[in-house]
Amino acid sequence: MIAKVRRRHFLLSVASGAALASPWAVQAQAWPASPVRLVVPFPPGGLIDNMARLIGPRLAVELGQAVVIENKPGVGGSLGAAEVARAAPDGYTLLMASPPLTIAPALFNNLPYRPEQIAPVALIGRVPNVLLVNPASNIQNVADLLARAKAAPGRLNYASNGNGTSLHLSAELLKVSSGVFITHIPYRGAAAAIRALIAGEVDMTFENLPSVMGQISGGRVKALAVTTRQRSKSLPEVPTLAESGFADFDVSAYYGIAAPANLPGPISSRLEAALAKVAADPAVITPMERAGATVNFVDGRAAARFMAADLATWKRVIAQAGIKAD
């Protein structure tokens, strides 16, 4: 008798659990039943926006629904991230993931969202930053640059596209790693920083490689090193900073897809599988590599580990360099 009662309770528990789970299961099975929003937390025309417009149409084919790209710029990418963080975890609101996700939590104390509210689904690739000087400077390599900086501390200066950006922090990481002092001059955007370098107003800058391929090939700026651990296929003759004496230097502008945390497993798995197919498509790979990006699919778990390590790096650099938010 007792055994029958226990069995009845067990069956009721199983049935109850299935009933509770069924709404998510049904929703996940039907997903996506309508267009998916892909929030780009920057204005149109920039690096991350361009990557989104390559990925979005191909992802739409895999999902069988339109992927609508919405630009939500502001506060260094935090406004767009906050919108996604507040969205329902149903797979219909996604975020174009990029370095601000792992820089902003290290820099700002009053983010409009909590970092744990957003989780990566997958990363699709990386874009190296590149260390640039004016060809007229006659600086031939990283060792030459640092020798000049050590000979006259504070005399050399560098441009960035603003405080707390990946380009700014790349320079600060080089300063922390080498022990040199080079004065930071922030500009309103990367284009202004590059113009300042070409005009001779500053001695060096870092920039995303795709944005300056034309200036490099045209001889208007000179590339000394890339910030990723491996050389860029677009600039195979340019060494890495790791090869230039900084073994642990590995910085890039990663890009991928993130979503509100607690995305149902079936939706997350389907989206991750779709992104893996996108990343393997030559129609995506070729233009990205032509622009200087490296396509390298990373699943959600590995992406979370990578982003945690990136956040730890920037926390250390920001603390050591004494960087404060504007």
pLDDT at residue 11 is higher than 50: no
- Confidence at 326, pLDDT banded by 50, 70, 90: low
**Amino acid identity at 176:** V
pLDDT score for 233 = 87
| 167, 207 Cβ separation under 8 angstroms | yes
Please give the average per-residue pLDDT across 214-236, as a whole number.
94
Please name the residues in contact with 298: beta carbons below 8 A apart, sequence gap of 6 or more: 122, 123, 124, 256, 306
Q: DSSP assignment, residue 161? A: S
Structural tokens at position 86: 């507040």
Structural tokens at position 244: 């230039």
Structural tokens at position 268: 């997350």
Please give the average per-residue pLDDT across 200-213, as a whole number.
94
- Confidence at 20, pLDDT banded by 50, 70, 90: low
Domains of the chain: which residue ranges?
Answer: 33-126+252-321, 128-226
- Confidence at 30, pLDDT banded by 50, 70, 90: confident
Residue-wise burial string across 181-199, b where 16 or more C-beta atoms lie within 10 A, e elsewhere: ebebebbeebeebbebbbe
| Spatial separation of the C-alpha atoms in residues 82 and 242, rounded to whole Å | 35
Cβ neighbour number for residue 24 with a 10 Å cutoff: 15
| Spatial separation of the C-alpha atoms in residues 97 and 271, rounded to whole Å | 14
pLDDT at residue 291 is higher than 90: no
pLDDT score for 25 = 55
| 250, 264 Cβ separation under 8 angstroms | no
pLDDT score for 2 = 47
pLDDT score for 290 = 85
pLDDT at residue 205 is higher than 90: yes
Question: Per-residue pLDDT tens for 82-135?
Answer: 999 999 999 999 999 999 999 999 998 889 999 999 999 999 999 999 999 999
| 89, 263 Cβ separation under 8 angstroms | yes
Structural tokens at position 48: 């991350």
**Phi, psi dihedrals of residue 116, rounded to the nearest 5°:** -70, -5
Q: Indicate the length of the chain as a whole number.
A: 326
Which fold does the domain 33-126+252-321 belong to in CATH?
D-Maltodextrin-Binding Protein; domain 2 (3.40.190)
Least confident of 46-50, 117-121, 157-161, 181-185: 46-50
pLDDT at residue 278 is higher than 60: yes
Pairing of strands 157-160, 204-208: parallel
pLDDT score for 5 = 44
| Spatial separation of the C-alpha atoms in residues 31 and 302, rounded to whole Å | 24
Residue 34 CA, distance from chain mean position: 27
pLDDT at residue 12 is higher than 50: no
Please give the average per-residue pLDDT across 257-263, as a whole number.
97
- Confidence at 22, pLDDT banded by 50, 70, 90: very low
pLDDT score for 163 = 86
Q: How far is CA 234 from CA 127, 220, 295, in A?
A: 11, 17, 13
Residue 289 CA, distance from chain mean position: 16
CATH 3.40.190.10 fits 128-226, yes or no: yes
| 99 bridge partner residues | none
Least confident of 8-22, 34-48, 219-233, 272-286: 8-22
| 100, 188 Cβ separation under 8 angstroms | no
pLDDT score for 325 = 77
| 116, 58 Cβ separation under 8 angstroms | no
| 322, 161 Cβ separation under 8 angstroms | no
CA angle 256, 105, 54 (to 5 degrees): 15
More confident residue, 164 or 7: 164
Pairing of strands 118-133, 204-208: antiparallel
Structural tokens at position 267: 């939706």
Mean pLDDT in the chain?
Answer: 90
| Spatial separation of the C-alpha atoms in residues 56 and 178, rounded to whole Å | 40
H and E: helices and strands count for the chain? 11, 10
Residue showing tokens 């396509």:
295
33-126+252-321 and 128-226: same fold? Answer: yes
- Confidence at 47, pLDDT banded by 50, 70, 90: confident
